[in-house]
A and B are shown apart, each in its own frame.
Chain A
């Protein structure tokens, strides 16, 4: 029976069995920059020393230790690497859309370190993205937090191995469209979404108890209880209930946001972040009190019925109510200028520089559970840094150099026309048409609608 206990332990520990690979760590001294620390104010004409990927000193007149490269950033701005709390970058598959709950699927299985979108994100100063499962399911798959170590060949090397587990949830039109309308199963309505969640968590509690009972019995002599069926789907829900996983929930309407807050409270869940959250301004105090905040668009809405009631003041209202608020991209295009998106909160809501910058650094770091490691320029943190020409919240801002763990992965002076890491031997070179890449929230979802409903519901986000 001891063997079985070990076996179970191995099962539960599955997700941490990935060997943390040895990733590159760099050393660099950046001098004479205007340092936007985000948490400790703005330091004029200051230096930041990075050694082995960690920020070692922030101050003035720091001299470079032997062998450490010095970069003169006179007249330039240095800020923490931008963190995108909602992205689908570098994923070969986004949606396992076939079941209302697919908590068992892991986006880390699908990481594609060769996707050129990672480099483009670096060119926009983004060093970390939260590569999420899509929004086709009430409970989607487990997301993965990526560090943009461009050039890595092993998917494990761009995964932020010390980031906590997160999972995608989705409310409203997407899951009801895919499952209810598309396949004729629950959930067909917002009530169904809540039922799926509550049933799922209740089943998870039973599952947890079944294993606890079995484990207790299995050490007894002459035990006749057999091991329950293993179900990683339910086990993942158990892990959520045990506070091991942060929920990131696709949501738009205030009523459904409030619904999920209630579900979470009923089940004792506190690690909860709302994504999109366009009507978050209506329930800002509740979001502030019961959750880890909201990750929103600066000014993007009206792409389907449930996203009409929106305002560009959303982020500011949430912030003023004390909710942790981040601005995300959910897009291969927006990810390249999240600093502009953050600046919009100054035009709509009068956010301070620090508040606006926090929305793309410290706040998403908090929502991803990595604020002790990244998100600000502080001694001891991982050296994810961006040098900007112009203040990052200015419309004239242009990222110059982007560092992850002190290693420079983007340099505007060395930006070649073709930065792809992999080229297909059999694909012809076709003319490139510049169109905006759509949100990938509903990628890989097979939809079977009539032509009429297609025109009615053919939205992608």
Chain B
């Protein structure tokens, strides 16, 4: 494993360096990565061209990243690679209204010697409207791959920061050799979170400071206009903050306010009414009671693609007294309301899209299905993932539906998208085809009593790769339904062994999956392992973003369990 990763990453770096000076499709391609063709036809699949449209059996032809046609009588060019779609379903690629995948916050600047906490420089106080998410984004981040695997093809990436974090941008989750930027400066991300230990430290200070920045940008503009037209006017002072806020006060760029709770939604809307900027609400989590307010304000909304955890419901005990039971009932009522909020938005006729900021790609389908089980129509769910998001992001011309002339962004699943056993088999982004392994769902794969396989203990593992075999040990400990663990592996950047924590350990029936992060060749890689447990053996695959999948086998070590 060590050698594979090392080789692959070194190769990757070489290739990237080479690509930047050569044209992308040069004759010689030592990487072997160049696709033979950029024309694909997925034939005879059930195609849902837009939310609300019935799936019809047809063929989708794409070329050079653009949909060439959808229909039954397309003439397919010779160079088209045919993907037999007979059993497959095709949907428009998902669009993420707000994403933090691949975003790394820039380092805090050093505090100046004359730093005063009551009047800090903007950059330290979280006021950085000039920052762009593009500068903080890495398409190579494993999270980007995770969300692509979940069906996302376009995302509005959000900068990380304080009360005025910076400008969002829209990227496509396509080829690793492209910048993939579709649009920059799409929105100004703002929040009510204060700076730590300095002004403005709390939401009340943040609101006052936002007004201050907004009004002074207006005045700065006025001074600039005056300077241009009247002789003898003092040179106006232009600061990075005010320059970057100009397109916001001109209503060219909307303010995307993070407002998770109902009171934050009201605060953002009241600021908007007071100052007059264009507003998008994002990150809504608790909004059931302000749907009429959102509707009346007529602002676009991005709701969090996450459902509240049910820990509080699960913690309810049977043997509680009456007054406690009454309180339990209220928590349950609040929970039930929370998971049907999206359907309430739909009923109120408020078009909405999702933001995945702060959520996990692995939870996307679960969250969507929970929303659908609680009243959200499949059509509205798909619209939130495609056409509504395209409309809010101003991308409807090129994305959101499967139509001739639009970007070749497709989600191809093994069954109707939201049905129980449906899995995503291919995601096509910008004409590039990403294949994902699907598992044949066997009811028998669950253990007889339906309970989770026993995985706690110490496992010896082996993995095969073109560079040879490698192996080590991973340990899993179980605490109730929670698992944790570590893995030892050959250090990819040198000799010896290193340890990594296992993340997202999931055991479902006989299947087990987990991931871990390693640093190799200057890159942070996420390694995903998934497979089936059969008694004391585990068989599956290990996949690394961009480097492919390799077989992964393990056996549970009985002696160590005995020691434990």
How many angstroms from the CA of A277 to the CA of B118 in the assembled complex? 28
Interface string of B297-338 (1 = CB under 8 A from A): 000000000001101100110000001101110110111011
Please indicate the chain A residues that have their CB under 8 angstroms from the CB of B205 in the complex. 96, 98, 102, 105
Q: Which of A416-459 contact B (CB under 8 A)?
A: 417-418, 420, 422-429, 444, 446, 448
Binds B, one of A60-68, A229-237, A344-352, A353-361: A229-237
When the two chains form their complex, are residues B117 and A226 in contact, meaning their CB atoms are under 8 A apart? Answer: no
Q: Is B367 on the interface with A (CB-CB < 8 A)?
A: no
Instruction: Choose the segment among B193-201, B388-396, B480-488 that binds chain A (4+ C-beta atoms closer than 8 Å).
Output: B193-201
Q: Is the interface of A mostly helix, strand, loop or mixed?
A: loop
Q: Is A155 located at the chain interface by the 8 A CB criterion?
A: yes
Q: Which of A11, A96, A156, A424 contacts B202 (CB 8 A)?
A: A96
Docked Cα-Cα span, A422 to B117, in Å, equals: 36
Write the B193-226 contact mask toward A (1 if CB under 8 angstroms, else 0): 0001111111111011001100110110011001
Report yes or no: B312 in contact with A425, Cβ–Cβ below 8 A: yes
Among A73-81, A107-115, A405-413, which stretch is in contact with chain B? A107-115
Interface residue stretch chosen among B3-11, B84-92, B230-238, B456-464: B230-238
Determine the distance from Cα of A155 to Cα of B326 in the docked complex, in whole angstroms. Answer: 28
A106 in contact with B218 (CB, 8 Å): no
| Tally of A interface residues using CB under 8 Å | 54
B274 touches A14 (CB 8 A): yes
User: Looking across the interface, which residue of chain B has its beta carbon closest to that of A3?
Assistant: B222
Contacts of B308 in A (CB 8 A): 425-426
Minimum CB–CB distance from A409 to chain B (whole Å) comes to 19
Which residue from chain B places its CB closest to the CB of A221 in the assembled complex? B230
Residue B278 CB within 8 A of the other chain: no
A321 within 8 A of B: no
Question: Which chain B residues lie closer than 8 Å to A227 at the CB level?
Answer: 219, 222-223
Q: Is B37 an interface residue (CB 8 A)?
A: no
CA distance A104 to B202 in the complex (A): 13
Q: Which residues of A contact B293 (CB under 8 A)?
A: 154
Of the four ranges (under 10, 10 to 19, 20 to 34, 35 or more), the interface on chain B belongs to 35 or more
Find B119's partner among A95, A99, A423, A428 (CB 8 Å cutoff): A99
Binary interface profile of A, 208-247, with partner B (CB < 8 Å = 1, else 0)?
A: 0000000000000011101111111000000000000000
Is the pair B201, A109 in contact by a Cβ cutoff of 8 Å?
A: no
Nearest CB on A from B215, distance (A): 5
Q: Flag whether A183 is at the interface (Cβ < 8 A).
A: yes
* Cβ–Cβ < 8 Å partners of B234 in chain A: 224, 226
Nearest CB of B to A30, in Å: 33
A397 at the interface (CB under 8 A from B): no
Smallest CB separation, B297 vs chain A (Å): 12
Chain B neighbourhood of A222, CB < 8 A: 230
> Does B212 lie within 8 Å of A232, measured CB to CB?
yes
Closest to A100 in B: B118
Taking a contact as CB atoms closer than 8 A, the residue among A98, A156, A226, A228 that contacts B233 in the complex is A226
Q: Among A104, A179, A420, which residue has its beta carbon within 8 angstroms of that of B330?
A: A420
A424 near B334: Cβ-Cβ < 8 Å: yes
Q: Is A22 an interface residue (CB 8 A)?
A: no
Neighbouring B residues of A223 by C-beta, 8 Å? 230
B226 and A226: CB pair below 8 A? Answer: yes
A93 at the interface (CB under 8 A from B): yes
Contacts of A230 in B (CB 8 A): 212, 215-216, 219
Q: Does B263 contact A (CB under 8 A)?
A: yes
A426, B231: Cα distance in complex, Å:
63
Give the complex CA separation of A156 and B267 in angstroms: 11
A7 located at the interface, meaning its Cβ lies under 8 Å from any Cβ of chain B in the complex: yes
Q: Collect the chain B residues with CB atoms within 8 Å of residue A375's CB.
A: none
Instruction: Tell whether B182 is near chain A: CB-to-CB under 8 Å.
Output: no
Q: How far does the Cβ of B250 sit from chain A's closest Cβ, in whole Å?
A: 14
Cα of A109 to Cα of B289 in the assembled complex, Å? 19
Main secondary structure of the interface of B (DSSP, over half): helix
**Contact between chains at A14 and B118 (CB < 8 Å):** no
Q: How far is the CA of A185 from the CA of B429 in the complex (A)?
A: 56
Identify which of residues 46-92 in chain A touch chain B, using a CB-to-CB cut-off of 8 Å: 92
Q: A155 near B333 (CB under 8 angstroms)? A: no
Structural contact, A105 and B204, CB atoms closer than 8 A: yes
For residue B266, CB closer than 8 A to chain A, the reply is yes
Indicate the member of A141, A422, A425 with the most B CB atoms within 10 Å: A425
Chain A proximity of B338: nearest CB distance (Å):
4
Asked if B82 lies at the interface with its beta carbon under 8 angstroms from chain A, I say no
Q: Does A195 contact B (CB under 8 A)?
A: no
Across the interface, which residues of B come within 8 angstroms of A418, CB to CB? Answer: 326-327, 330
**A155 & B263 in contact (Cβ 8 Å cutoff):** yes
| A93 contact set on B, CB distance < 8 A | 202-204
Give A353 to B211 CA distance when docked, in angstroms: 47
Cα(A104)–Cα(B205), bound, Å: 8
Q: In whole Å, how far is B335's beta carbon from the nearest beta carbon of chain A?
A: 4
Nearest neighbor of B207 in chain A, beta-carbon distance: A109
Are the C-beta atoms of B118 and A183 separated by less than 8 Å?
yes
A426-B312 contact, Cβ under 8 Å, with A11-B215, A95-B202, A98-B201: yes
The distance from the CB of B39 to the nearest CB of chain A, in whole angstroms, is 49
Q: With an 8 A cutoff between CB atoms, is B24 at the interface?
A: no
Query: Whole-angstrom distance from the CB of B333 to the nearest CB of chain A?
Result: 7
Pick the residue among B211, B216, B315, B333 that contacts A14 (CB under 8 A). B211
| B14 at the binding interface (Cβ < 8 Å) | no
Nearest opposing residue in chain B for A141, CB measure: B204
Cβ-defined contact, B331 with A423, below 8 A: yes
A95 vs B197: C-alpha distance when bound (angstroms): 12
Q: Tell me if B267 and A109 are in contact (CB < 8 A).
A: yes
Measured CA separation A424–B311 after assembly (Å): 12
Which residues in B have their C-beta under 8 angstroms from that of A305? none
A153 and B289 contact, CB distance less than 8 A: yes
- Shortest Cβ gap from B526 to chain A (Å): 28
CA distance A425 to B336 in the complex (A): 8
Nearest to B234 among chain A residues (CB) is A226
* B116 sits at the interface (CB 8 A): yes
Q: Which of B117, B199, B333 has a CB less than 8 Å from the CB of A96? A: B199
List of B residues within 8 angstroms of A423 by Cβ: 330-331, 333-334
Residues of B close to A17: CB separation below 8 A: 274
Q: For residue B330, which residue of chain A has the nearest CB?
A: A423
Contact A109 B203 (CB under 8 A): yes
Known: A417-B326, A424-B334. A106 touches B204 (CB 8 A): yes
When the two chains form the complex, which single residue of A96, A141, A154 contacts B201, counting CB atoms closer than 8 Å? Answer: A96
| Contact call B198/A429, Cβ cutoff below 8 A | no
Question: Closest CB-CB distance, A124 to chain B, in whole Å?
Answer: 22
Instruction: Say whether A97 faces chain B, with CB atoms less than 8 Å apart.
Output: yes
- Residues of B at the A interface (CB closer than 8 Å) are 116-119, 196-205, 207-208, 211-212, 215-216, 218-219, 222-223, 226-227, 230-234, 236, 262-263, 266-267, 270, 274, 286, 289-290, 293, 308-309, 311-312, 315-316, 323-324, 326-328, 330-331, 333-335, 337-338
7 of the cross-chain contacts (CB-CB < 8 Å) are A96-B205, A104-B208, A417-B323, A418-B326, A425-B337, A426-B335, A429-B328
List the 4 shortest-distance A-B pairs measured between CB atoms, nearest first. Answer: A99-B118, A98-B199, A96-B205, A425-B334
Besides A18-B270, A425-B335, A426-B308, 7 more A-B contacts (Cβ < 8 Å) are: A4-B222, A7-B218, A93-B203, A98-B201, A226-B223, A420-B330, A429-B327
